[in-house]
Amino acid sequence: MSTQTMTFAKALTAGLRASLEADDHVMIMGEDVGRLGGVFRITDGLQKDFGEHRVVDTPLAESGIVGTAIGLAMRGYRPICEIQFDGFVFPAYDQITTQLAKLHYRSRGAIRLPVVVRIPYGGGIGAIEHHSESPEALFAHTPGLRVVSPATPQDAYDMIRAAVVSPDPVLFFEPKGRYWSKGEVDLDSPVATATSDGGTPDPLGQARIARAGTDVTLVAYGPTVATALSAADALAAEGTSAEVVDLRSLSPMDVPAVVDSVRRTGRCVVVHEAPTFFGAGAELAARVTEECFYSLEAPVLRVGGFHTPYPVAKIEHDYLPSTDRVLDAVDRALAH
């Protein structure tokens, strides 16, 4: 059967397996991705089936992993790098933002770097320091990178496959707190191999309406889509209809989809785990205000992390955006 119920994590594994089967130039590299199968077991069994030359255990050196991937991409390969945890990406930040993001532009289009950098990110799993960061805005601010984050098992499968066939470098942020959530996955989905050059909608650049509504627009991505949907359920019980927009992508950002929704609802609340200060929600709030000024019934509000380092596990749920915090923001929007 092409449609199966699986966890978010297993959907990623299935997408990686399909990508390795489809193209001999695809390879996976990272710390413990081979024999161990990755710290979250996303690459479990892939080295056994595809060999050590295509699923490569690397030294503990993130800058070296991404730098090697850049060289491999210049020779025709399609490397998929795994960064074990979000907070470990910073040793590779220079390679990503000064090389991976810019070589296509600097070479006037002569060099393509089809590299995927997988980054488990976000909180909610009771992890220690440097294991629950949300640094996506730092990369979305850098021209030349696609920055995406799936929220469902189906999108995990579709978007990892689309990322691998993309000619552009893709920062693929995986909400680790959603790894164990389950859903239906169509393994023959035509969206899985779509690119912006084809006729099939590109999941790397298009938002989706996760729930239709009429009174307020809730915009989220990655781990907070489930939070927004939970808030929409609670609002429905009170007679308020909330539309939930899953951004999927931060760069490029599907602003027209959000604008279309806000023009219908008149109100907008943006939700993400990263700190609200200089976050993705700030950019989106500015764009929505510019485009929807005469449609807005209330200011665009943001719900996110606080402007502090990520806290210890014991109090992380006081830091993360909750259903109650989203409902409070909606109440303030509806009061106008």
Percent of the chain at pLDDT > 70 equals 97
16 lies in the same domain as 139? yes
CB atoms inside a 10 Å sphere around CB 103: 18
Return the half-sphere exposure (C-beta side, CA atoms, 13 A cut-off) of residue 202.
Answer: 19
Give the burial string for 144-179 (b: 16+ CB within 10 Å, else e): bbbbbbbbbbbbbbbbbbbbbbbebbbbbbbbbbbb
156 lies in the same domain as 292? no
Alpha-carbon distance of 151 to 225, in angstroms, equals 6
Least confident of 26-35, 76-85, 193-202: 193-202
Q: Specify the CATH number for the domain of residue 262.
A: 3.40.50.920
Mean model confidence pLDDT for the chain: 95
Query: Active site includes 317?
Result: no
Pairing of strands 3-7, 55-57: unpaired
3-class DSSP state of 125: coil
Mean pLDDT, to the nearest integer, of 22-36? 97
144 lies in the same domain as 16? yes
Alpha-carbon distance of 49 to 297, in angstroms, equals 56
Alpha-carbon distance of 104 to 113, in angstroms, equals 7
| Amino acid 336: pLDDT | 82
Q: Specify the CATH number for the domain of residue 18.
A: 3.40.50.970
30 lies in the same domain as 118? yes
| Amino acid 245: pLDDT | 98
Q: Which pTM was predicted?
A: 0.95
Q: Is residue 202 part of a domain?
A: no
Domain that holds residue 294: 208-334
Total of domains in the chain: 2
34 lies in the same domain as 75? yes
CA distances from residue 202 to 26, 193, 198, 270 in whole angstroms, order as listed: 20, 9, 8, 23
Confidence of residue 197 (pLDDT cuts 50, 70, 90): low
Which one is catalytic: 53, 104, 130, 131?
A: 131
